[in-house]
Amino acid sequence: MKRQSLSSYEGLQKNVRKLKTPEIEIFQNQYPDKAYTISLDLPEFTCICPKTGLPDFARIEIIYSPDKYCIELKSLKMYTIFFRNLGIFHEFLVNKMLEDFTGACNPRWAKITAVFNPRGGITTTVSREYKK
């Protein structure tokens, strides 16, 4: 069996960490002295496969424990819509989202999990966690 060359993917995502995304807005947490969690479920997330140009569909779950700030939901929705027409690998998407999310609200703890619909009989699940 011939192994696919890495060069066929080379350069497709080299600037993903510098990608300018919409701002995720925050508001002041009125209970910063309490440890609690917020769960956000985004069941209709879409982006584009950078290799094929075909759409990818996913359910994204964000769980976090706010510290001084909470995430404003409309801005989070606008943030996620940004990816709708963007070619991005699943792995890079979750890493980029977590970096942007934690950069916005600096939570005590956060985890983002993306479960992508099957493609070619394979379901991809990518998770990443952040802890102060």
Closest Cα partner for 61 from 87, 37, 92, 82?
Answer: 37
Model confidence at 5: pLDDT above 70: no
Give the pLDDT of residue 18. Answer: 86
Give the pLDDT of residue 9. Answer: 60
Domain locations in the chain?
Answer: 23-38+47-131
Residues for the chain: how many in total? 132
The CATH T-level fold of domain 23-38+47-131 is GTP Cyclohydrolase I, domain 2 (3.30.1130)
Residue with tokens 């999990």: 113
Residues with catalytic roles: 49, 56
Mean pLDDT (the chain) is 92
Q: What's the rounded Cα separation, in Å, for the pair 90 and 49?
A: 8
Helices (H), 27-129: 73-81, 90-105
- Relative to beta strand 69-71, strand 122-131 is unpaired
Q: What is the pTM of this model?
A: 0.89
